[in-house]
Amino acid sequence: MRSRFLNSTAQLSWLSVSRLKRPSPWVCRGCQVQLSRFRGYSSQTPPVKPFYVTTPIFYVNAAPHVGHLYSMVVTDILKRFQQVKGRKAIMCTGTDEHGMKVQRAAEKAGIKPKDFCDKGAEIFKDLAAKALIKNDHFVRTTDQEHKDAVEYSWLLLKEKGLIYKKKHEGWYSVTDEAFYPESAVQLYLDPATGRKYMTSIETGSEVEWSSEENYHFRLSAFRDPLLQFFKENPDWITPEHRMKEVVSDVSSSLSDLSISRPYSRLSWGIRVPDDPTQTIYVWLDALINYLTKAGYPTWTPGTEAAGGWPADFHVIGKDIVRFHCIYWPAFLMALDLPLPKHILTHGHWTLGGKKMSKSTGTVVNPFQALERFGPDIMRFFLAHDGAVQDDAQYDNLRILEVYNKFLRGAFGNLAARVIKSNKWSVRGAVERVGGQIAEICEEGPGSKFYKNHLLRITPQVDAAFERGEFRRGVLDVSAFVHATNQFFQMSEPWKKTLYYEKGNPGLDVDRTIFLATEALRMSAILLQPTMPNKCALLLDQLGVDESRRTIEYCRPGADLEYGIPKGDTERVLFPIIEELHR
């Protein structure tokens, strides 16, 4: 997918933007580095850019739910797949710790905001560890390096003339940390209490009228550059219907954005560098996190890509599309920085057909789910049934169904039948027919399976992941496993075993066993990002060397060194799970 950063300064309709001033030498408080020097040039060879993928950073005002877990798992799968391809990959997650709702939650808990945030951050770190998330960075918006990046960005935007101060009035949502125009709110009557209040039409969050003087970002000046970028990058947002919604929103209207709050009302946040009476808007603060861990703004000239920027994928929920797909690219254009290559948006998880809500008790505790089913099973279920185009239904019985029908019934059962039978030898089949499988399968038994499935599965899954369609990739491997089962069952190698020579069941059986074993080996390699522990166990039982578990070897006949099991060969890949209540 082509993604070209448009030079905003050359295209903004607002006249003064074409005469942007260079930033004055500003010294960040944390590192005491004169940041203006990073606009220099270097003759060094640019470093190879690693794959960089991010989760949204999560608010610490409430406990994690399955939606947070889903964002983490999706991001981790995308990262791990790139590693299977042999590419260096970096994943960033973290916590959003500033803003009104965090301030109020800390007050309600009766503790200092920083102590409140420390506890919340540890909970999310614990969730990541239990879900086998291999994040390279865990950013916190209370980190000093992040504060420095935010303050630097603010001063740069201001010196370019993109920030100004004026009185602002409108409907404000503490939950969404956003202002809404009159057309975007409605009166709501709570049927349980009879209370009437105004809510956001888009999110349903309660809003309150606010009138205050604060700073604004000239977002309206970026309408045309954004529309031009969207036109040239039609696949920038996935899925397609959310891209259309963003284009429609920007086309219809794009007002300047309030980007600060009076310190007297919001004290928990980053102060405006040259105006201590104001606190920087939490979303301008939060979005900079993606740059912080990529090394911004202290990039050594010529090595800006070393930390991964621009991000290859931002993984976000559909409720924060406006912030990431309108505000964020406008901020980046204003800062003269490349835009992320792709925004992968996903839907929500529902419970009993209703949106999960802490207030109503309709939530899924991700820690309990991981404890109940184990991380590999939960990761596979979330990827297999995931909410991408629309919302998805969370159901314990559905998890058991996926487990029993596919993981245990198809994948695990196939592995047991192929690997553990004493009627043939996996290693023997690899040695006898592996090197000539293309010729053997040119026609006759196994040729259709070889040509239609074994040769196609890896490029098919690779293409899906490159588009960010992780679920499509997982479903493709699932279909491949089912096709392998059908091939194995129809081939009936147990009926064709010849006994005239010990350890040599005959060509027909060797061919069937090798093709089925290759399918297992390749499926395990392709599913490593989704089920790292289970796939490692299967590859151990197949005797695949750890250095040969990459996509380079994920084609038929690419690895002829396996077949002698190692480790716990008797361990059942997917044991029976007792029926569990909802």
Q: Who wins on pLDDT, 408 or 175?
A: 408
CB 150 within 8 A of CB 270: yes
CB 259 within 8 A of CB 280: yes
Which CATH number applies to 396-553: 1.10.260.40, 1.10.730.10, 2.40.400.10, 2.60.40.10?
1.10.730.10
Tell me the sheet residues that pair with 394.
351
Identify the helix (H) or strand (E) that includes residue 248.
helix 240-252
Q: What is the DSSP letter of 61?
A: S
CB 418 within 8 A of CB 489: no
Tokens representing 558?
């690419």
CB 510 within 8 A of CB 520: no
User: Would the pLDDT of 582 be above 60?
Assistant: no
Q: Tell me what percent of the residues of the chain surpass a pLDDT of 90.
A: 74
Q: What is the DSSP letter of 357?
A: B
Q: What is the DSSP letter of 27?
A: B
The predicted-structure confidence for 64-97, as pLDDT tens digits, reads as follows 999 999 999 999 999 999 999 999 999 999 999 9
Tokens representing 506?
């005959």
The predicted-structure confidence for 206-231, as pLDDT tens digits, reads as follows 888 777 889 999 999 999 999 999 99
Q: 354-355 and 349-351 as β-strands: parallel, antiparallel, unpaired?
A: antiparallel
Mean pLDDT estimate for the chain: 89
User: Would the pLDDT of 102 be above 50?
Assistant: yes
Q: Distance of CA 4 to CAs 306, 314, 406, Å? A: 19, 16, 41
Burial class (CB within 10 angstroms; exposed 0-12, middle 13-18, buried 19+) of 467: middle
pTM above 0.75, yes or no: yes
User: Would the pLDDT of 22 be above 50?
Assistant: no
- List for the chain the helix, strand, coil content (%; round to 5): 45, 15, 35
Q: Distance of CA 110 to CAs 63, 105, 107, 114, 189, Å? A: 17, 9, 5, 12, 31
Tokens representing 24?
């004055």
Q: 89-96 and 58-59 as β-strands: parallel, antiparallel, unpaired?
A: parallel
